[in-house]
Amino acid sequence: MWLENTECPVNSKDIYIEFEKFKSACRELNVDVSNRLIETYERNELLYPVYKIHRPKEYLQGIFEQNHGHGRFKNVIEVPDEYESPLKFEYEELNRWHHPIFPEFDKAFTEGHPLDQAYKRDESFIEKPSKDTYRNWEEYNVVLESTIEETSIKDRKSTARHFYSPWQIYLLEEANRRHTRKINVLIPLGEVEEDILSEQPQKLSLAQWQDHFKTLWEYRFKENLLFRKSLQNIGRNILEGGAAKTFYDNRKRIAKDIYSRHSYELWIDFLRSLSGLYFDCREREKLRFSDCLKSDIRSVIDLLMLGFEKDYRDIINDVGMYLNGRTYFYIPPLERIYPEYESYLKREAKPLLDSILDDYNKEVPNHFKLDKEAINKIIAHAFNSGNETLLVSIIGINKEYFSPSYFGDEGMWAYIRSLAVAAESWVKVFANKTDFRDAIVALASGDFDSCCNQLQTKCGKTNMNVYSHADLQHFLNELQQINLKRGTKNLSWMKFIIRSYLIRNYVVHHTKLAPELFGSTLIELYRSLIFLIFYAWKVK
């Protein structure tokens, strides 16, 4: 099966990317882009580059001649003093800032990206484009010429370098949806342009969040540099101990400094806007595009938790159940994107445990029955006791059974093993015992031991050890036939508890799959483990 790569083509260090890389990222995200389209949006004040660098023709001509002339192997470029600043910027600052071994890296961490530094220095070669500075892109094109050994060499070059930020891809996508339509494929090429633009530009709704996007990406940029610098300082690829604490403390400080530029309420509104756009993209099957949005959504959540010291549950509640004219029910929209751990487990596990409770109550005597409210208490105790594995395993087993993944039986087996171990821990905590059998015996007041002795005798065994699949199958087969009782007391329901004990003994010593354990046998083993959990809760 072909698995689509859905990774976002830009990362947090790409706070600014040059035009060609910007176009490449757009195409990877299935966003229509072309020089003509981008220039049209700039002319109509919809999408400007964040920065433009201007290089005079004479400057480019001098570099062109040296790159192709007799001294081209010197690896040294010389220009007149008036061009020293753009030369240093292009060939040193822009090329070296992302390498931790160079001083430009530390400067980028403290003072921002080199483009931001140059603009703050008021360098003459850099500008922030606006309506007043717009020129047709064709005006930037120049022809460079040189002669080598009587051979003329020419090159067409732009005097302007255009830099965009990745988040502007979202604006481009919105501009495309509002302003372009594809021509009929039957119309011969050349008669009309490939894309037809609307006559009047429409305001982009995402444009109102440009300051938030800039702030978000400044944080992501600095966080990335901080992490790389922290790794360089320890000379390893894992942050731990004091190095990890220092990194997280510094990250929190950066978050507080940057995110205080906007109010918490506006950040929540921004998060609603991104989340609404995410669902819109999923519906239009722009999956890679939505993955980039998901990364930005995660960054906003992280920064709200760090900068404003909010719990994720509070952020979910503050975003609410209403996005872009749509009301969401049962699961909040933000949690549909990034599930909140405790809420997700509680929400998913409860109906699964509810579905088995009736079966349990039908099997056990009245004094062992549980009411519906017990399920909520069991789930809460699983969290309070640090046994979330119990819930994770139950959810995983059901997902694999009803919506199989390509892990096959291996995935199901892994969850069964986890559930068996979690059930063992559950019982031993209630009985305050370190041995599993001793724990069940303590909770069952002798009934379990009596039934196990009956089964051992029936199987010709002196214990309940399971050394192989054959041993397990032997016990399970005999368990189906035996009439479990203690004196006059009917203990037929105790077969579920014994099954739980047997499967735990088997899974902790065997990792190899046995095909015979799947199908109806697997269902019975799963139900038995849940029965043990219910029983232990009742008699604890």
Buried b (16+ CB within 10 A) or exposed e, 166-187: bbbbbbbbbbbeebeeeeeeee
Query: Taking the mean position of all CA atoms in its chain, how far away is CA 424?
Result: 33
- Angstrom CA distances, 418 to 8, 265, 396, 433, stand at 33, 42, 10, 20
Q: Among the residues of 432-517, which ranges form H helices?
A: 436-444, 447-459, 469-481, 494-507
Q: Per-residue pLDDT for 208 more than 80?
A: yes
How confident is the model over 499-509, as a mean pLDDT?
Answer: 90
Q: How far apart are alpha carbons 370 and 357 in whole angstroms?
A: 8
What pLDDT score does 232 carry?
Answer: 81
Q: Per-residue pLDDT for 2 more than 80?
A: no
Which of 422, 354, 413, 372 has the alpha carbon at shortest distance from 392? 422
The per-residue pLDDT for range 310-349, each reduced to its tens digit, is 999 999 999 999 998 889 988 999 999 999 999 999 999 9
Give the H/E segment covering residue 183: none
The per-residue pLDDT for range 413-449, each reduced to its tens digit, is 889 999 999 999 999 999 999 999 999 999 998 899 9
Q: Per-residue pLDDT for 7 more than 90?
A: no
Question: DSSP secondary structure string, 190-258?
Answer: TSS-SEEE-SS----GGGGGHHHHHHHHHHHHHHHHHHHHHHHHHTSS---HHHHHHHHHHHHHHHHHH
Q: Per-residue pLDDT for 105 more than 80?
A: yes
Quick one: CA dihedral 116, 122, 124, 130, positive or negative? positive
And the tokens for 96? 């070296």
What pLDDT score does 240 carry?
Answer: 83
Counted residue by residue, the chain has a size of 540
The per-residue pLDDT for range 222-263, each reduced to its tens digit, is 999 998 888 887 777 788 888 888 888 889 999 998 888 999
What pLDDT score does 187 carry?
Answer: 56
What pLDDT score does 5 carry?
Answer: 40
Q: How far apart are alpha carbons 303 and 409 in whole angstroms?
A: 40
pTM: 0.82
Output 462 or 24, whichever has higher pLDDT.
24
Which of 305, 304, 296, 317 has the alpha carbon at shortest distance from 263? 304
- Angstrom CA distances, 45 to 140, 195, 334, stand at 19, 19, 32
Output 516 or 220, whichever has higher pLDDT.
220
The per-residue pLDDT for range 390-400, each reduced to its tens digit, is 999 999 999 98
* pLDDT band, very low/low/confident/very high, at 33 (cuts 50, 70, 90): very high
Q: Per-residue pLDDT for 182 more than 70?
A: no
Which of 273, 341, 347 has the alpha carbon at shortest distance from 313? 341
What pLDDT score does 3 carry?
Answer: 33
How confident is the model over 209-219, as a mean pLDDT?
Answer: 96
Amino acid at 228: R
CB 81 within 8 A of CB 97: no
Q: How far apart are alpha carbons 526 and 503 in whole angstroms?
A: 9
Question: DSSP secondary structure string, 260-314?
Answer: TTS-HHHHHHHHHHHHHHHHHHHHTT-HHHHHHHHHHHHHHHHHHHHHS---HHH
Quick one: CA dihedral 434, 436, 440, 446, positive or negative? negative
How confident is the model over 143-164, as a mean pLDDT?
Answer: 89
What pLDDT score does 199 carry?
Answer: 67
Q: Which residues pair with 456 in a beta bridge?
A: none
